[in-house]
Amino acid sequence: MVMKQFKAESKRLLELMIHSIYTHREIFLRELLSNSSDAIDKLYYKTLQDGDTGLNRDDFFIRIIPDKQARTLTIEDNGCGMTKEELENNLGVIAKSGSLNFKKDLEKTDEIEIIGQFGVGFYSAFMVSDCVTVESRAYGSDEAWCWQSKGVEGYTIGACEKENHGTKIVLSIKPSSEEESYEEFLEEHRIRSIVKKYSDYIRYPILMEVEKSRLKEGSDEERETYREEETLNSMVPIWRKNKNEITQEEYEQFYREKFYDYEAPLKVIHTSTEGVSTYNALLFIPAKAPYDYYTKEYEKGLQLYSNGVMIMEKCADLLPDYFSFVRGLVDSQDLSLNISREMLQHDRQLKLIEGRLEKKIKSELELMLKNDRENYEKFFSSFGLQLKYGIYSDFGQHKELLQDLLLFYSSSEKKPVTLKEYVSRMKEDQKDIYFVSGESVNRIEQLPQTELLREKGLEMLYLTDQVDEFALRMLHAYEEHEFKNVSSDDLGLETEEEKKAAEQQKEEYKDLLESVQKALDGKVKSVIVSQRLKSHPVCLSSEGAISLEMEKVLNAMPNAEKVQAQRVLELNPSHPVFNVLKKLQQSNPEKLSEYTQLLYTQALLIEGLPIEDPVAFSNQICNLMAE
């Protein structure tokens, strides 16, 4: 028979499997049993939709047959089976779901440790087997095919006989060496314990013939052994069990296997409801955002089961976008199985469930925020961005729901705080909530614009994510306290006297300010005597709806029309440089113009904005140094 080649990436995974370390090998059984269960699900779902297939739920089974003499382990199911093409396509390449995640990590690391925690799929058979034979007959087809492989060299495929639909996988168990033993995988008690550990909740019976003993007939001493088929798994899915029957470990194990994460979830939410809609939901909040979370590739959604049968792998309608990080499943008996995707979208039950889950997730997050701050901060550093997008999107529709889940870094607390916490600490006469934007907490701390508030002991929120300022603009106010940008908005912090003094200064330096603005030749909307600067000579602020930070963000978007904030150059009248400017105005207007450029460029640098001509700037400074 012709030997066919595996795809390159499959080869790589195969090699890893063949050389996997001892402790992980047992999971091959979990993988093969899950595949059988999936295959039965597919067929069962089909029978429910078509109606007249003559198959009953009770007809389905998975069977394990260890054979010590032949040194084979057989796993057999009467699921949907595979056609010749399916055998080639499904077993010749690294498949979808689990294995794909694995593949991504494979590129990043050679860490063989991860195998134990991933759904590595069919190829895991090669961890214990040196020859894998798959006989399969697709449901509804009258031909059967046999796929066989001894490892990386490739596989063969040919016609074979098979009486019923389904798949039979025969593993030739590797020979044991001095260091390694594979015999255990042929032992009944070992197989039984692996099934219990990983596959207990599989909803179809996993059968195995086991040896039992009984009293011989007519004797009350002598015993005889006999063989009987037994169901190894309890068949109750974990989400249908009582909460108090499930350990944290079991939840975590289930989560890892089902959702291919190697970290335990940050939070498990197990909830069931009866009444208007009856459902069980088992939800997880991951500890970290998946690598593709903030990309278009990420698909949100929960698995949807109808009475224990999976009808959809990712039901997006069950989760609002802002909670798209939640993984898990919903099992409801109120959903019709014969429902199409389009109908599902308009399903009233589904809407009800979504609404309830949304409330539940929110209240669980609030609880975590209240009782387990450390974990909440972890959660927020992974998924806070998504909540902030949630505030900003849909024209601010969800801001009420989400605003109390937000955290921002506080200038006075030196850690993330909620808006509620900020407001509770506000000074007696403080009306507004102050914020500053910048690249990082460090950069913001240096911003000259923050000096005034620091001096007055006013708390500021530091915004370091691009979406932050947009989200706050969308919120507009929190508990009637408006948000004010420390570097651009009019903060109204001056006393009457200060205001008067400012007016006077404005008059007094009118000519100077005009000359400076002229020298900048349209680059700034206005030049003013600053009220916020204390020790720095100069800063930039903005007028109008677009701040400097928003300008950066908007202009960084691909294909976006360029916008520009209306820039305002602020000069500090109590800084010695200001006196220099004053003198130059009379004695040397040319130099005034030059210094103005220098100051403006410095202000740009402080803001983290691009400067127009770095070489000219550098030359100017050198000239000054040489003077």
Residue ranges in contact with ligand ADP by CB under 6 A:
31, 35-36, 38-39, 77, 79-82, 90-91, 95-99, 119, 121-122, 167
- Give dist(CA 83, CA 143) in Å, integer: 8
Q: Which of 35, 78, 449, 450 binds Mg ion (CB under 5 A)?
A: 35
Residue 32 or 353 having the CB closest to ligand ADP: 32
Count of positions (residues) in the chain: 627
Residue 38 or 489 having the CB closest to ligand ADP: 38
Closest approach, Cβ 32 to ligand ADP, in A, equals 7
Residue with nearest beta carbon to ligand ADP = 121
Residue 260 or 422 having the CB closest to ligand ADP: 260
Which residues, numbered 494-533, are part of the site for Mg ion (CB under 5 A)? none
Residue 36 partner contact from Mg ion, ligand ADP, none using kind-dependent CB cut-offs of 5 to 8 Å: ligand ADP
Query: What are the structure tokens assigned to 245, written together?
Result: 């029957």
Contact 410, 459 (CB under 8 A): yes
Contact 449, 486 (CB under 8 A): yes
Find the part of the chain contacting Mg ion (CB under 5 A) among 121-129, 149-157, 376-384, 485-493. Answer: 121-129
Closest approach, Cβ 366 to Mg ion, in A, equals 37
- Give dist(CA 185, CA 181) in Å, integer: 9
Query: What are the structure tokens assigned to 396, written together?
Result: 């601010």
Closest approach, Cβ 564 to Mg ion, in A, equals 54
Give residue for tokens 């911003």: 447
Residue 551 partner contact from ligand ADP, Mg ion, none using kind-dependent CB cut-offs of 5 to 8 Å: none
Residue 602 partner contact from ligand ADP, Mg ion, none using kind-dependent CB cut-offs of 5 to 8 Å: none
Closest approach, Cβ 35 to Mg ion, in A, equals 4
- Give dist(CA 234, CA 98) in Å, integer: 25
Is residue 265 at the binding interface for Mg ion, with CB under 5 A as the rule? no
CB atoms under 10 Å from CB of 111, counted, come to 10
Residue 149 or 597 having the CB closest to Mg ion: 149
Find the part of the chain contacting Mg ion (CB under 5 A) among 76-84, 114-122, 179-187, 392-400. Answer: 114-122
Closest approach, Cβ 24 to Mg ion, in A, equals 16
Residue 139 or 470 having the CB closest to ligand ADP: 139
Residue 122 or 392 having the CB closest to ligand ADP: 122
CA distances from 343 to 11, 317, 356 (A): 42, 12, 20
Size of the site for Mg ion (CB under 5 A): 2
Q: Which of 66, 79, 92, 121 binds Mg ion (CB under 5 A)?
A: 121
Residue 96 or 373 having the CB closest to Mg ion: 96
User: How big is the CA angle at 586 (ends 585 and 587), to the nearest 5 degrees?
Assistant: 100
Characterize the bridge pairing of strands 279-285 and 327-332: antiparallel
CB atoms under 10 Å from CB of 546, counted, come to 18
DSSP string, 373-394: HHHHHHHHHHHHHHHHHHHHSG
- Give dist(CA 360, CA 366) in Å, integer: 10
Closest approach, Cβ 382 to ligand ADP, in A, equals 25
Closest approach, Cβ 243 to ligand ADP, in A, equals 29
Closest approach, Cβ 62 to ligand ADP, in A, equals 9
Of the candidates 241, 249, 242, 239, the one whose C-alpha atom is nearest the C-alpha of residue 197 is 249
Residue 204 or 600 having the CB closest to ligand ADP: 204
- Give dist(CA 134, CA 170) in Å, integer: 6
Residue 35 or 515 having the CB closest to Mg ion: 35
Residue 28 or 617 having the CB closest to Mg ion: 28
Residue 82 partner contact from Mg ion, ligand ADP, none using kind-dependent CB cut-offs of 5 to 8 Å: ligand ADP
Closest approach, Cβ 243 to Mg ion, in A, equals 28
Residue 96 partner contact from Mg ion, ligand ADP, none using kind-dependent CB cut-offs of 5 to 8 Å: ligand ADP
Find the part of the chain contacting Mg ion (CB under 5 A) among 35-43, 192-200, 323-331, 614-622. Answer: 35-43
Residue 132 or 463 having the CB closest to ligand ADP: 132
- Give dist(CA 581, CA 538) in Å, integer: 12
> Taking the mean position of all CA atoms in its chain, how far away is CA 164?
42
> Taking the mean position of all CA atoms in its chain, how far away is CA 406?
17
Distant-in-sequence contacts of 92-99, Cβ < 8 A, 24+ apart:
92/4, 92/6, 92/7, 92/10, 92/155, 93/6, 93/7, 93/9, 93/10, 94/7, 94/9, 94/10, 94/13, 94/121, 94/123, 95/121, 95/122, 97/260, 98/260, 99/13, 99/123
The contact set with Mg ion (CB under 5 A) reads 35, 121
